[in-house]
Amino acid sequence: MNKITEKNQPGLKICVVTGIPPLNLLVYKFVQVLEPTVDEMVLITGNYPEKDVFSPKIKLVNINHDNKKQSLVIRIPKFIILQLKFGLNLIKNLDQTKMVVFFLEGGQYLFPLLAARLAGKKTINVITHSSSQIAKQSSKSKFLFLIMFILETITRKLTHKLVVYAPNICRQFKLEKYNHKVIVAHRHFIDFNLFKVQHLLEERNNNIGYIGRLSAEKGIINFIEAVALFANKENEIEKNKTKFFIIGDGELKEEVKKLLNQENLKGRVKLLGWVPHEELLKYLNEIKLLVIPSYTEGLVNVMLEAMACGTPVLATAVGAIPDVIKDDKTGFILEDNSPETIVKGIIRVLSHPNLEQIVANASTMVEREYTFEAAVERYRKIFKEV
């Protein structure tokens, strides 16, 4: 295990702007990584639980926001007002701040970024995903896609440093023209006391899992259509013994329920809804395969947690996934996320002759590269470089 050996920059104060996080756990784990590297941190975020402020170094500036799905006519003015709120709160907290870190949706927030630049502060944009790509997959509105694309382009040009999780993200998000300011480093770490093997692969039934948001960019509809195709397959897998788990929540929840009913899959698929993070251990040790059929991703934390639990992963080659999963070595890569390809992938994995070795390779890799200490050291070096 890596050790934290370097010292902090004396008097280092930073501001972290996250926008409204889709999942507070993402912010919590990011702040955990940054906290040992700074003397003071102002966390400007939204709808964040005060109980998750675990250190006296952290000052929470919480902005309440209604995340209900609404029409563009309402969403655009609310988005502008929200940017103004973040910008004004950032201005109030810039005294003695050396740098401002934008994380998650923070990358879209033009007003706070302009405020930081005008105040002469160094800025870092941690790019976890592409909002324009998500808008393209989840919305029929070309106007929304255009707005997100313009905002992403401007913020990337204005930010001093862009942090990406893996080299493939530069290619997927078309960041090559910013190579002079791109830093490849991830903030991911696994709690190996929590995520570990409880049941060997040979002890598990043929349970296939999907864990993630129920949203278009995650490929959940493709997954369900693949389950329907798989249910009709004969003689390739003992189909009556194969069950499917869907864990997560999101805007497509009702559509998912409707599709499961239409395909007569309620007896084959368990729709478990949102599950607390600490309870994922149980399900990751029950399933024999985790499927990640996404259209766009950053670095998927549940993929790493599955590997730590001895669960093989079948995923599309998006975001940082192909930098972690080497096909037939540490996991399995889908050529695309069509239902037909997903079915072929599932059959390939469940009938693979060397599955235990691939699982062992993946486990060794995450135990070596995804420790908390290593994540802290990466960001300490980033802050020294900026």
Third-level CATH fold of 201-369: Rossmann fold (3.40.50)
Q: Kind and range of the H or E element at 355?
A: helix 355-369
User: Is 338 in a helix, a strand, or coil?
Assistant: coil
Residue 324's H or E segment, with its range, is: helix 321-324
* Domain 13-189+371-385, classified CATH 3.40.50.2000, yes or no: yes
Residue 210: both structure tokens together: 């999907």
Residue with tokens 């309870």: 279
Q: What is residue 235's predicted lDDT score, i.e. its pLDDT? A: 44
β-bridge mates for residue 60, sequence order: 43
Q: Which tokens in the block code for residue 187?
A: 């903030």
Residues 6+ apart with CB under 8 A from 224: 246, 256, 259, 260, 263, 265, 269
**pLDDT at residue 20, as a whole number:** 83
Q: What is the pTM of this model?
A: 0.84
Domain boundaries, the chain: 13-189+371-385, 201-369
CA Rg value for the chain: 21
Hey, what are 208's tokens?
Answer: 């296939």
Mean pLDDT by 10 residues, the chain (386 residues): 53 92 88 96 95 97 80 81 93 96 80 96 89 64 79 92 90 88 93 96 95 95 95 59 93 95 91 94 97 93 97 96 96 97 96 96 96 95 92
pLDDT at 2: 43
Picking from 240, 235, 358, 222, the residue whose alpha carbon sits closest to that of residue 289 is: 358
Question: What's 237's DSSP letter?
Answer: S
- The pLDDT value recorded for residue 145 is 77
Strands (E), the chain: 13-19, 40-46, 58-63, 99-103, 122-126, 161-164, 182-184, 207-211, 243-247, 269-273, 289-292, 313-316, 332-334
Terminal CA-to-CA distance of the chain, rounded, Å? 27
CA angle 184, 190, 191 (to 5 degrees): 150
Q: What is the pLDDT of residue 144?
A: 74
